[in-house]
Amino acid sequence: MRILKKKYQSKILQVIHEDMKGMHELGIISDARMRYYDSECLVKEPPKPHKIAGSARKARINRISKKSVSS
């Protein structure tokens, strides 16, 4: 697993996220609640081009295999 540097939407959200992370580590908030804070506080980065190409290739392969199975 790679460790990526977190990018925050703002300084305030960075402070909130770091506080919530501490509470999560102490078991005060749940995994689901921590995922919520991750989604609200961290910058959402667009997918990398090679990931998009890989997804398109998989989708094409799935369509082809479904056609050959139904024939």
The pLDDT tens digits of the residues spanning 15-71 come to 999 999 999 999 999 999 999 999 999 987 766 666 556 666 666 666 665 555 555
Nearest residue to 20 (alpha-carbon basis) of 3, 10, 32: 32
pTM for this model (two decimals): 0.56
DSSP 6: P
Amino acid type, 59: A
Looking at residue 8, its pLDDT comes to 87
